[in-house]
Amino acid sequence: MSNPPPDTAEATVIAIPTHSRRRAIRFPNFPGAKPIPLAISLIIGLLVCFAIPKPAEVTKQAWRLFAIFLTTITGLILGPLPVGAWAFVCLTITVITRTLTFDDAFKAFTNEVIWLIVVSFFFSRGFVKTGLGDRLAMYFVRWLGKSTLGLAYGLAICEAIISPAMPSTTARAGGIFLPIINSLAIAAESKPKDASSRKLGAFLIQSQFQSSSSSSALFLTAAAQNMLCIKLADSLGVKIKSPWVSWFKAACFPALASLMLTPLIIYKIFPPEIKHTADAPNMAKTKLEQMGPVKRNEWIMLGTMLVTVALWIAGESLDIKSVVAAMLGLSALLILGVLSWDDCLSEKSAWDTLAWFAVLIGMAGELTTLGVVSWLSKCVASLLKALSVGWHLEILILQSVYFLIHYLFAGQTAHVGALYSAFLQMHLTAKVPGTLSALALAFNTCLFGALTHYSSGQAAVYYGAGYVKLLDVFKLGILMAFINIIIWGAIGSPWWKILGLY
């Protein structure tokens, strides 16, 4: 049995690098917040609030909110408490310090984008509960799984098809694709945390992990942070007409190109030892036979997904908002018994997301209203103006900084909440076209999800499987980042020109 993690052990030991271990200091394990991350998070906020001089252009209320916001983001990265709990604590601080009124603090909890994300998590549970996700994946393994490369393509294409109706990349990774990859690897005697991992498992993990970035970028509803980006852009005055369709039109060519090239590139730079997987189609065929014919609930789930996606596409012409279409789909699943209300109540990630997404959106929105975001943007814009370069080079600089700074963030949503509005305002100040700026930053957010083992929820899932060494994660992460930037730049730039985005 493995040792318990530090936060569940009876005591935390901090060794002093002098003399002997007998002089180590022991602290009883505190059942609440982790003391060191808590202290760092609070100290950062206090330093900003009281030690750093307030700029003349910013009000006291705005500066205090900015300090609380930095404390919130630091806590999301360091994790003194679970994400939702920490967000609630920081929201309470904004109210108790009278930085925000109660109504302003909780205003974002009625945001329709937040509820679209929550309802979409329930759709994710439906895919897992009915087995429809497993069935679709097995069909692709059966059709394309005769070779290792074909197997990787089958899994990547399957995720792209599922993604618009299953907007949690983490749920897709942990609920569908990791179990399938693990089964295929074990069948090929490729074991985690073992030299045999390079036979098959490590390649499939890295291929699926890197491909998931393109799947997330292909559709507006393929990842939760996509919808958050659109909402934040709207709050800054960047109105994107028919968001679902506009997103897909802008993303389709570069995302599909990246999706089609990624498994092949990984195959060349991180090759598996096993090149042929003749047994995989047979395994998939056996699994499908065990599953039997498509069941009633699977048909309902598939039909509901197709109708909901159709309403998302045509919703504006029918005057049906995306969240209403999602609510209709969920209502159908509940009435027909595919999902129960207990299923919804037990979907902790949905309710957790409701809490911390709402807090981030609310704080980011108030920072914009109070002028903090515009002040930060003007500072960076002034620096860029001093360089005397055109907006084409400015967008390249801003996008590069936005991408590389993700090494400091554990998760995409925290990054969006902290920096998306500020960087979008910088683009606008630099006279970069608004829709191009908003979408490029959003696509960028999807792509850096595969940068490190902590850069996104799916990154933690795939790395935790134990097939890939940490050094390989970092090497492939930065290499594929540059490759994806080249693909998106070479294909996206002329395509966006054709679409009239600039």
Type and span of the H or E element at 25: strand 25-28
Q: Average model confidence (pLDDT) for the chain?
A: 84
Mean pLDDT of the 70-89 span: 86
Instruction: Render pLDDT for 361-390 as a digit per residue (tens, 0 to 9).
Output: 788 788 878 888 778 777 776 777 777 677
Is 21 a residue whose pLDDT tops 60? no
pLDDT class of 8 with cuts at 50, 70, 90: very low
Look at residue 316 in the predicted model and tell me its pLDDT.
Answer: 59
Domain that holds residue 73: 35-99+357-499
Is 230 a residue whose pLDDT tops 80? yes
pTM, full prediction: 0.69
289 in any annotated domain: yes
Mean pLDDT of the 241-255 span: 93
79 in any annotated domain: yes
Taken in order 281, 292, 170, 114, the sign of the CA dihedral is positive
Look at residue 424 in the predicted model and tell me its pLDDT.
Answer: 92
Domain termination residue (choose one: 318, 348, 378): 348
125 in any annotated domain: yes
Residue 118 and residue 200 in one domain = yes
106 in any annotated domain: no
Residue 203 and residue 66 in one domain = no
377 in any annotated domain: yes
Residue 300 and residue 240 in one domain = yes
193 in any annotated domain: yes
Residue 406 and residue 283 in one domain = no
Is 202 a residue whose pLDDT tops 90? yes
Do residues 184 and 283 make contact, with C-beta atoms less than 8 angstroms apart?
A: yes
d(CA 169, CA 151): 20
Residue 67 and residue 135 in one domain = no
Residue 364 and residue 266 in one domain = no
Look at residue 270 in the predicted model and tell me its pLDDT.
Answer: 95
Residue 316 and residue 378 in one domain = no
Looking at the 3D structure of the chain, how many domains does it have?
2
Domain termination residue (choose one: 348, 366, 391): 348
Domain termination residue (choose one: 321, 348, 375): 348
Mean pLDDT of the 127-151 span: 80
Residue 373 and residue 488 in one domain = yes
190 in any annotated domain: yes
Residue 83 and residue 118 in one domain = no
Q: Which residue has the higher pLDDT, 369 or 451?
A: 451
Count Cα neighbours of 235 within 13 Å in the Cβ-side half-sphere. 27
Residue 223 and residue 256 in one domain = yes
Residue 288 and residue 175 in one domain = yes
Instruction: Render pLDDT for 143-198 as a digit per residue (tens, 0 to 9).
Output: 877 888 988 998 899 899 888 877 778 878 877 788 788 877 887 788 888 889 99
Q: What are phi and psi of 225, to 5 degrees?
A: -70, -20
d(CA 254, CA 376): 31
Instruction: Render pLDDT for 285-311 as a digit per residue (tens, 0 to 9).
Output: 888 888 899 899 999 988 998 888 788
Instruction: Render pLDDT for 32-46 as a digit per residue (tens, 0 to 9).
Output: 888 999 999 999 999
Look at residue 9 in the predicted model and tell me its pLDDT.
Answer: 38
Q: Which residue has the higher pLDDT, 138 or 164?
A: 164
The first and second tokens of residue 315, run together, are 């919703």
Residue 371 and residue 229 in one domain = no
Q: Which residues pair with 28 in a beta bridge?
A: 11
Alpha carbon 37 to its chain's center: 23
